[in-house]
Homo-oligomer: A and B are copies of this chain.
């Protein structure tokens, strides 16, 4: 049963008013639009969100490098964004994408290529 949302921004139809955190970021989960597999997680500031919507290619804000980056700018493995889902409090997005290659910088299809087994990570057969 769908409860009545508490706030107007949680209503089934509402204006898009993304909530950036104290450091100016929101979280983006990248999934393969065909398989639904989770490929990676990254962060977006206002600029990255605008560039993504403007170009249709996923852009993020690198916390380590402190700058805008387009996924695939060096590897060529871009992400074409087909649909954006927004969560209840508008601080997290799901980007349904068509990837042109492996999403992970290690060459794996997904960054989530290992599972936790006790205190050790083991490869997942995907």
Name A's B-contacting residues (CB within 8 A).
1-3, 5-6, 10, 12-16, 21, 27, 29, 31, 36-38, 40-41, 63, 83-89, 92, 94, 102, 104-108, 111-116, 119-124
Q: Could you say which of B10, B107, B123 contacts A1, with CB atoms under 8 Å apart?
A: B107
Establish whether residues A106 and B15, one from each chain, have CB atoms under 8 Å apart when the complex forms.
no
What are the residues of chain B within 8 A of A83 when measuring CB–CB? 115-116
Which DSSP category, helix, strand, loop or mixed, fits chain A's interface? loop
A121 to B6, CA, bound (A): 16
Question: In the complex, what distance in Å separates the CA atom of A76 from the CA atom of B35?
Answer: 31
Which B residues touch A1, using CB under 8 A?
102, 107
Are A84 and B115 in contact, with the CB atoms below 8 A? yes
Question: Once the chains are docked, how many angstroms separate the CA of A75 from the CA of B2?
Answer: 14
Known: A27-B41, A29-B38, A29-B41. A122 touches B12 (CB 8 A): yes
A87 to B, closest residue via Cβ:
B111
